[in-house]
């Protein structure tokens, strides 16, 4: 019986980070697309586009980090 | 002449790249996981202990309630304080050296803050936002110095990045929350409470109904309830903001720490350097985001409607 708690923990952690990375992945892709489009239209605005893209990516990535925190807690703490 | 020189540098770069690549391959094959894949004996040179992660900070001294993250926070405070003390001791009108560098930081932060907040509110936000930024970035960069996580006392690591202790991001988030509310009250007075308890439209609608204008009142009633509900949601969002602040910083820094540990375990040579660079970049970005979000919420709190 003991092994099933470990199994559940591992599956839960894998699912948490795997499913949690889908949304941020799409989000970062969209951000990159938007930045490339903007860069193609207006190559002189490279600096501000770059800064804002990195800020946006950091926000999208934070969602994946929440999933990662859950996965870490499941494996190491629960 | 120049072509020969160019060829010389190119040759050097190629040799260096090959050497580094060879070091990566050798250290991967020699390490525990790589030797398992290749099927050879692991070399004792690459015998790195498997990554172990403890969410709670360790206490290196048995009887003292001093955690290793606390020591790191003191170190980064000392570094920041020492840097600014030495840099501003003999201030000159035309800055040179360290003073120049510090003025660059402070002026950059001041411009960054005054851009959205304006002159008056910028002077309120500047000390808190800049301090948060500098503290987080110092914590993140101090923990990249070799010796962190590896120097052990009583079997526990003596230093550990302060941002990977949940208490530090939580404390910063609470500070940021308190200051945002304080600035809101300072800018708007008691009417700042209207952001949370917005009963005005509802009272007006009820007044209309009571005075007999039922048709106009019924339409206003819905708007009134929506306004009340939005105000209550605002309370919730202010509290959830703290949790989000905490876990964004904690998660990013912890993930970075685990990433570096795992890379050192997998490929002990050369490759972890790249991840150290990545960590330095992420520490800066996360510090900027923490300070920038505090600034953004503060601007939203003091904004005139």
The per-residue pLDDT for B181 is 93
pLDDT digits (tens, 9 = 90+) for B12-70: 999 999 999 998 888 888 887 878 888 777 777 777 777 778 878 888 887 888 888 99
Q: Which residue of A has its CA nearest to B243?
A: A66
- On whether the CB atoms of residues B146 and B288 are closer than 8 A, the answer is no
What is d(CA B265, CA B271) in angstroms, rounded to the nearest whole number?
11
- Report ipTM (2 d.p.): 0.76
Contacts of B285 in chain A (CB under 8 A): 54-55, 58
The per-residue pLDDT for A73 is 85
CATH of domain A2-77: 1.20.20.10
The per-residue pLDDT for B2 is 65
Q: Which residue of A has its CA nearest to B166?
A: A69
Cα of A27 to nearest chain B Cα, Å: 17
- Name the residue among A65, A76, A77 with its Cβ closest to that of B248: A65
Nearest to B83 by CA among B167, B141, B149, B170: B141
What is d(CA B268, CA B263) in angstroms, rounded to the nearest whole number?
7
Mark the ranges of chain B whose per-residue pLDDT is less than 70. Answer: 1-2, 305
Mean pLDDT (whole number) for A7-35: 93
Do the Cβ atoms of A73 and B55 come within 8 Å? yes
Residue A59 at interface with chain B, using a CB cutoff of 8 Å? yes
DSSP alpha helix (H) spans, B31-96: 32-38, 68-87
Q: Which residue of A has its CA nearest to B256?
A: A65
| Residue at token pair 């010389």 | B8
The per-residue pLDDT for B52 is 79
- Name the residue among A54, A72, A73 with its Cβ closest to that of B285: A54
Nearest to B261 by CA among A76, A31, A28: A76
Mean pLDDT value across chain A: 89
Contacts of B279 in chain A (CB under 8 A): none
| Token output for B160 | 């550990």
The per-residue pLDDT for A14 is 93
């Amino acid at each position: 019986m003991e092994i099933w708690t470990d199994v559940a923990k591992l599956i839960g952690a894998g699912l948490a980070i795997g499913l949690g990375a889908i949304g941020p992945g799409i989000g970062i892709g969209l951000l990159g697309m938007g930045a490339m489009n903007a860069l193609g239209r207006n190559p002189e605005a490279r600096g501000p586009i770059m800064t804002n893209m990195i800020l946006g990516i950091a926000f999208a990535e934070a969602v994946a980090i929440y999933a990662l925190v859950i996965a870490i807690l499941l494996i190491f703490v629960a | 002449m120049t072509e020969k020189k160019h060829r010389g540098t190119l040759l050097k770069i190629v040799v260096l790249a090959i050497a580094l690549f060879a070091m990566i391959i050798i250290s991967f094959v020699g390490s525990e996981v790589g030797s398992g894949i290749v099927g050879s004996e692991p070399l004792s040179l690459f015998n790195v202990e498997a990554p172990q992660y403890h969410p709670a900070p360790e206490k290196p001294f048995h009887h003292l309630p001093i955690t290793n993250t606390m020591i790191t926070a003191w170190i980064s405070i000392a570094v920041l304080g020492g840097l600014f003390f030495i840099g501003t001791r003999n201030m000159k009108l035309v800055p040179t050296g360290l003073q120049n560098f510090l003025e660059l930081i402070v002026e950059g932060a001041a411009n960054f803050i005054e851009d959205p907040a304006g002159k008056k509110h910028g002077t309120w936000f500047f000390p808190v936002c800049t301090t948060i930024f500098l503290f987080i970035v110092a914590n993140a960069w101090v923990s990249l110095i070799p010796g962190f996580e590896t120097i052990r006392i009583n079997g526990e690591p003596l230093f550990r990045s302060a941002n990977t202790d949940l208490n530090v991001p939580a404390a910063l988030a609470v500070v940021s929350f308190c200051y945002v509310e304080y600035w809101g009250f300072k800018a708007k007075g008691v009417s700042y409470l209207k952001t949370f308890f917005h009963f005005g439209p509802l009272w007006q609608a009820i007044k209309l109904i009571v005075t007999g204008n039922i048709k106009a009142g019924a339409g206003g009633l819905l708007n009134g309830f929506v306004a009340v509900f939005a105000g209550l949601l605002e309370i919730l969002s202010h509290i959830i903001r703290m949790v989000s602040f905490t876990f964004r910083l904690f998660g990013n820094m912890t993930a970075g720490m685990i990433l570096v540990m795992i890379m050192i375990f997998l490929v002990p040579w050369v490759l972890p350097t790249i991840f150290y660079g990545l960590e330095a970049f992420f520490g800066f970005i996360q510090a900027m985001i923490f300070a920038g979000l505090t600034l953004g919420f503060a601007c939203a709190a003091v904004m005139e409607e």
